[in-house]
Amino acid sequence: MSTASQYVLEARDISKHFDGVFALNEVDLQIRTGEIHALLGENGAGKSTLIKVLTGVYAPDSGTMHLEGEGITFKGVSSAHKAGVVALYQELSIVPNVSVAENIVLGDDMPTRAGLVDWKELRRIAREQLDRLNQGQIPVQRMAGRLTPVQQTMVAVARAIAVKAKVLILDEPTAALTDHEIQDLFRVLRNLRAEGVAIVYVSHRLEEVFELCDRATIMRNGRVMTTTDVADTTIREVISTMVGRNQEDLFPTRGIPGASTAVEIHNLSGQRVKDVSLSVKEGEVLGIGGLAGSGRSELLRIIAGAQRHTSGRIVIDGQETNHKSVAAALSHGVALVPEERRSQGVVLSQSIGENIAVGNLTSISKWGLVTRARIKSLASNSIAELQIKSRGPHQTVGQLSGGNQQKVVLAKYLARNPKVLLLDEPTRGIDVGTKSEIYGLIRGLAAKGAAVIVVSSELPELIGLADRIVLMHEGHISGEVSAAGADEEQLLSYCYGRAAS
Ligand SMILES: Nc1ncnc2c1ncn2[C@@H]1O[C@H](COP(=O)(O)OP(=O)(O)OP(=O)(O)O)[C@@H](O)[C@H]1O
Ligand SMILES: [Mg+2]
């Protein structure tokens, strides 16, 4: 019997190493027509590398690939593209400074008339693809870089379906999306599945995987551990296969906040933030919840001096600072780990050591000298604490997996020993095994007297990690609760601006 119809794409025995270290070790993957297939594993497990092999970005060292039963070798992305195997990579692959239409219809497929690009036809094709995704409201002439994150993702999906993808691969597509936008994307993916497209889906959000996917392949250390029907397994089981052990307690025990107030804001307003007052004690972890657009990130940016406030006061350690620049905030011991970490927080061409050392020079210089040994020991500590999967402090950050790049940024700010630490979505893109390490580090910093403010879209994370939670709605604080024993539904109703019943 021929297997040609059973799998649309199959990888057999694929290995790939970088400088002698295996990123993929004899990997087998079988993708069926019309399924959504999750690819799971910890940061650095090899998911993105596998995707890059499947789409011709990397040539494997050994192993074979089969498309609809036929052996095939992709010589680069465009050859995979032509064969109908298309990926949206973890690093979002739209071209920001050209129009939406040109992003959807790429190079070779541009319609031409008398040797010139037929712009009218180009826009028509682009619109048609966006309509299929129910995204007809996205203006096709706009620069793609000016779209919202979900619109950019949709444009990338539109490009994939424009080439009639047989296999569509998405590497953490929801990292920058809100719950509502995620549901939009899921609707699109389910429609594509119904049309017979095979979808490979990478995500660290397991609830999402269980909602959307039919089967899952779980990787660990460059190997495939198992492939299973999602209906036949549980989140718990998936986690223990991913990390190779049972998950211990995810959250650390809470501390006891100190007596003195580390940061106070009074009647603060900005663009979206309106008349917000709150205070955080030394040693206290304050969680901030709210829907996207409720002003959470803006509030953090204002406290960090990264955005100006239009009125109100900021008081640090009893001293009115009203700082209006990042440098001024830092000089008062206030540091922000931004949400867009990969674009705002690291230099990809520098080593882990250099990245962590930048901005931490005072803590590592001895008599004004920054020694290589000190950079190395600071970085080595971070690598151990945050379980950064790397070959050591000298490795270039650009060579790390996406989640491990995020950890480097986090390490850089944690090593600063800030008095007031602001974190925006600190565990986004981070695997479940490492999340608890990060919670532990945040608690550890608080135990040393730091005041911590954490913004998160995951309510269970706020409930488990924080001492106190405030909820924001349309720029205002809509509710405040003590985190221990807080009820998710109650928090959610505050997020929607309703008082809890
Ligand atoms: N260009 C490269 N040079 C050297 N090593 C690399 C390169 N690309 C990936 N690696 C290594 O291969 C391993 C697998 O990385 P990969 O990006 O595939 O992980 P991942 O499963 O996608 O992780 P994440 O969830 O963090 O995105 C990692 O140890 C990474 O450091
Ligand atoms: Mg990856």
- 90 and 201 in a single domain? The answer is yes
Both structure tokens of 137 = 């409201």
What is the domain count for the chain? 2
Q: Which atom of ligand 1 is nearest to the CA of 403?
A: 26
CB neighbourhood size of 71 (10 A): 10
CA distance 335 to 420: 6
Residues 210 and 172 in one domain: yes
What is the predicted pLDDT for the residue at 240?
A: 86
pLDDT for res 464 = 94
Least confident window among 268-272, 275-279, 318-322, 348-352: 348-352
Residues 301, 230: one domain? no
Co-location of 224 and 270 in the same domain? no
Domain limit, last residue, from 218, 246, 274:
246
Q: 267 pLDDT exceeds 70?
A: yes
CA of residue 188 to ligand 1 center, whole Å: 29
What is the value of pTM for the model shown?
Answer: 0.78
Say if ligand 1 is within 6 A of residue 399 CB: yes
What pLDDT, in 10s, does the model give residues 195-252? 999 999 999 888 899 999 999 999 998 999 999 999 999 988 998 898 876 666 788 8
Bridge partners of residue 219, in order along the sequence: 224
Q: Running DSSP on this structure, what letter comes out for residue 464?
A: H
Residues 180 and 292 reside in one and the same domain: no
Reported as a single tens digit per residue, the pLDDT across 370-399 is 667 777 888 898 898 888 999 999 999 989
User: How much is the pLDDT for 2?
Assistant: 47
One-letter amino acid at 197 equals V
Q: Record the tokens describing residue 83, joined without a space.
A: 């064969």
Which ligand does the CA of 58 lie closest to? 1
Concatenate the DSSP letters of all residues of 280-308 into one string.
EETT-EEEEEE-TTSSHHHHHHHHTTSS-
Residue 438 reports pLDDT greater than 80: yes
Check if 43 has its Cβ closer than 6 Å to any atom of ligand 1: yes
Taking the CA of 399 as reference, the closest ligand is 1
* Phi and psi, residue 62, nearest 5°: -155, 170
Confidence band for 1, pLDDT divided at 50, 70 and 90: very low
Same domain, yes or no: 207 and 317? no
Of the residues 205, 229, 246, the one at which a domain ends: 246
> How far away, in angstroms, is 228 Cα from ligand 2 center?
21
Same domain, 319 and 214: no
Domain carrying residue 114: 3-246
In a shared domain, residues 77 and 120:
yes
Q: Which pLDDT score, from 0 to 100, does residue 13 have?
A: 97
Half-sphere CA count of 307, side-chain side, radius 13 A: 18
pLDDT digits (tens, 9 = 90+) for 322-364: 998 999 999 999 999 987 766 667 888 899 998 888 755 555 5
**pLDDT, mean of residues 432-441:** 85
Contact (Cβ atoms closer than 8 angstroms) between residue 447 and residue 255: yes
Q: Tell me what the mean pLDDT of segment 19-31 comes to.
A: 92
Number of CB atoms found within 10 A of residue 411's CB = 23
**Alpha-carbon torsion angle 395, 399, 404, 405, nearest 10:** 90
Q: For the beta carbon of residue 136, count every other beta carbon within 10 angstroms.
A: 12
Q: Please give the distance, rounded to the nearest whole angstrom, from the Cα atom of residue 402 to the centre of ligand 1.
A: 7
Same domain assignment for residues 80 and 108: yes
The answer to whether 183 and 30 have CB atoms below 8 angstroms apart is: no
Same domain, 172 and 233: yes
**Residue that is written with structure tokens 């793609």 in the block:** 144
Atom 7 (ligand 1): residue with closest C-alpha? 399
Ligand nearest to the CA of 17: 1
CA–CA separation, 495 and 493 (whole Å)? 5
Question: Of 222, 246, 270, which residue sits at a domain end?
Answer: 246
Distance 306 CA to ligand 2 centre (A): 29
Residues 198 and 227 placed together within one structural domain of the fold: yes
131-186 pLDDT, tens digit per residue, is 888 888 999 999 998 988 778 888 988 888 777 789 999 998 877 677 777 888 89
Please compute the mean of the pLDDT values over residues 468-482 and round it to a whole number: 96
> How far is residue 11's CA from residue 30's CA, in Å, rounded to a whole number?
6
| CA 422 to centroid of ligand 2, rounded, Å | 25
Atom of ligand 1 nearest to the CA of 222: 14
State which ligand 1 atom lies nearest to the alpha carbon of 405: 26
